[in-house]
Amino acid sequence: MNNWIFYNSEEKASPLSVEVLAEDQYDAWDHFVATTPGGTVFQSAWWHKAWQGEFAILALRGHDGDIVAGLPLNFGEVLGVRAITAPPLSPISGPVWRVPNHPSRALRRKIVAMRIGSLLMACPRVVWSQFVMLTDHIDLSPFMWNGYEAQASQNIVILREESDVWQSNISRGHLKKLRKALHEWEYHGCTLEVHQSFEEVLPLFKETASSKGFNLAHSSRLLNWWRAVRAKGSGRVYLIRDREGSPLCSAVLVLDSTSAYYLLGGMSEKIRRNTNLGMLLFKPMIEDSHRMGLNYDLEAITPSRLVDLKSGLEQFFLGWGGSIQPVCRLVRDLSNPLNRLWNEKHYRHLLGNLI
């Protein structure tokens, strides 16, 4: 993407020079993301590239030339206007930064805030932008100064430290359904497969999305996305077949250095009603995640999907007894005149006081 669309440091009075990474620098960015606490696969360059959309990566470098902070930007549309938002199936988005090695906590916070603020100030001017981040990896102040509003949500994680006890945390309702699912397994003569083939299970995901009224507008890009995931060795497909070999239900995990993320699930139309068979996918997924030293992350209920707190979907995930992980959704809407005034005047003054 051309650099001219970004406001430079003189226009925004930025204390740091923000660089737009070239494609030959994406490997260095991906290494930075993979080795920095708080970085996820969803913020990597290869993930954005796999979705074949318009994106750019802003970066700040230290005195030694190494990246110290960066912000991947995915461009799309929201209600017909140009927007910065996450790529499909990307529950986490936003900046990645390395905390400086300094004994003073106050100075560390000041440096990080200045870096995040500089990245936000360098973003192109769009009417609407959104980032979704884990609350234990974020300082909200640069976002608030820059006119973003924060909305709280939560996610469910079955931690790798709970590999020996997680089953004891499952709700009674889920245990009852699992027993019924075992009877269905025997009735249908089922088998479980774990592989990286995606073409066969894609119809299951489309059927399920259609039946539940989910938007799967990105379905035409799923195969290309999965080829990139498979090339990185970062995904697994779990599939249950009946005795005739027909696919009944499936789920997809995407992996990074800390977690295995449940992103997609689908079920055949012929068994969707009054069945619990899909629940039998979760046990092998959780066990495989823990065996690889990863958390099992039910990212399907973060704010990017905007699931009602009382919906059946969230109650289903809560029933697995995982830990609740707070998530913060940060939104800036410049169609609001007061928000725009705050962004133009207040933030520039506050950031200047940080230097």
CB atoms under 10 Å from CB of 22, counted, come to: 9
Dist. CA 190–CA 179, nearest whole Å: 15
Residue whose tokens read 């498979």: 230
Categorise residue 243: left if φ over 0, alpha if ψ from -120 to 50, beta otherwise. alpha
pLDDT tens for 309-342 read: 445 567 788 899 999 888 899 999 877 665 555 4
Q: Where is pLDDT greater, at 328 or 299?
A: 328
Question: What CATH number has the domain bearing residue 125?
Answer: 3.40.630.30
Q: Does residue 156 register a pLDDT over 60?
A: yes
How large is the angle between the packed helices 105-121 and 347-354, nearest 10 degrees?
140
pLDDT tens for 206-241 read: 888 887 777 676 778 899 999 999 999 999 999 999
Instruction: Judge if 185 and 334 occupy the same domain.
Output: no
Instruction: Judge if 182 and 108 occupy the same domain.
Output: no
Q: Does residue 264 register a pLDDT over 80?
A: yes
Report the pLDDT averaged over residues 184-194: 94
Give one DSSP letter per residue of 256-299, joined into a string: -SSEEEEEEEEE-GGG-TT--GGGGGHHHHHHHHHHTT-EEEEG
The one-letter code for the residue type at 225 is W
Classify 303 as helix, strand or coil.
coil
Instruction: Judge if 245 and 211 occupy the same domain.
Output: yes
Instruction: Judge if 316 and 343 occupy the same domain.
Output: no
Which of 122, 11, 39 is CA-nearest to residue 73? 122
Tell me, what DSSP letter sits at residue 31? H
Instruction: Judge if 124 and 22 occupy the same domain.
Output: yes
Instruction: Judge if 219 and 345 occupy the same domain.
Output: no
| This prediction's pTM | 0.86
pLDDT tens for 41-83 read: 999 999 999 999 999 999 999 888 899 999 999 999 887 888 9
Domain total for the chain? 2
Residues 6+ apart with CB under 8 A from 337: none
